């Protein structure tokens, strides 16, 4: 059962709005799980893609080892990553969707005198494909990816890096996250956090977020 915060109206306007990518801007979390399972299948092993729920938001070595253990395989990681990438890119092209009413909310923010950024632990190629495919690139002033940091969420490095590059204080930034690791990272950086609920993050504790929602329309009403 998901642990979540209530959903009050956001009481202030921020100078920066920082968005995680997977599960926050788009529905890519289950697609990532499916791609991992398909990559395992390439090694003649079957595993349930929903086991990704157990490690969602954690670093890639933890995620892949979780699948390797479940599938009882010991592939070369670089080779496995190539299999994963091919499957994931295909699934993104076929099934990628924006989170509910994200586009109107981004259009709303674009009219404000604020900064908007993507702060993700995903590899740069993943972020680029998602933003390009859905024609979102023009909304964002900054993109922080896996390649820009040495510490994965829940370490706050990604958010601290974004704040520094945007020249924004933590108290003036609002973060959107869909995992316990992401929420923890943003809070350690000193930012307020809104948790995004979806069907795939039911095992993540959202109770520390300022509020929790499943539809960005709740911020436009």
Please report the domains of the chain, with CATH numbers, ordered by start residue: 16-27+98-219 (3.40.50.1000), 29-95 (1.10.150)
107 has a pLDDT exceeding 90? yes
Mean pLDDT estimate for the chain: 92
Separation CA 117–CA 163 (nearest Å): 10
pLDDT tens digits for range 2-50: 344 444 456 578 999 999 999 999 999 999 999 999 999 999 999 999 9
Kindly report the backbone phi and psi dihedral angles of residue 148, in degrees, each rounded to the nearest multiple of 5, phi listed first: -90, -5
pLDDT tens sequence across 114-136: 999 999 999 999 999 999 999 99
Alpha helices in the chain (DSSP H): 28-41, 60-71, 77-95, 102-110, 124-133, 157-166, 180-188
pTM above 0.85? Answer: yes
State whether residue 143 is helix, strand or coil. strand
Range with the lowest mean pLDDT among 36-45, 92-101, 145-154, 197-206?
A: 197-206
Q: What is the pLDDT of residue 201?
A: 85
Question: What is the b/e burial string over 67-83, where b = at least 16 CB atoms within 10 angstroms of the residue's CB?
Answer: bbebbebebeeeebbeb
**DSSP assignment, residue 4?**
-
């Amino acid at each position: 059962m998901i642990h979540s915060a209530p959903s009050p109206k956001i009481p202030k306007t921020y100078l920066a709005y920082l968005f995680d990518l997977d599960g926050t801007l788009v529905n890519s979390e289950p697609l990532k799980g499916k791609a991992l399972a398909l990559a395992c299948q390439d090694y003649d092993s079957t595993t349930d893609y929903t086991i990704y729920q157990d490690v969602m938001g954690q670093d890639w070595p933890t995620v892949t080892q979780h699948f390797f253990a479940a599938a009882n395989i010991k592939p070369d990681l670089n080779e496995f990553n190539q299999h994963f990438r091919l499957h994931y890119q295909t699934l993104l092209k076929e099934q990628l969707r924006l989170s509910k009413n994200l586009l109107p909310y981004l259009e709303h923010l674009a009219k404000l005198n604020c900064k908007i950024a993507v702060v993700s632990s995903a590899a740069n190629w993943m972020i680029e494909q998602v933003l390009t495919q859905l024609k979102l690139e023009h909304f964002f002033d900054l993109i922080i990816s896996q390649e820009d940091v040495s510490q994965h969420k829940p370490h706050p490095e990604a958010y601290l890096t974004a704040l520094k590059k945007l020249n924004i204080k933590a108290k003036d930034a609002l973060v959107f996250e869909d995992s316990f690791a992401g929420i923890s990272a943003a809070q350690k950086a000193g930012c307020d956090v809104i948790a995004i609920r979806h069907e795939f993050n039911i095992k993540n504790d959202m109770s520390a977020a300022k509020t929790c929602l499943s539809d960005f329309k709740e911020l436009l009403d």
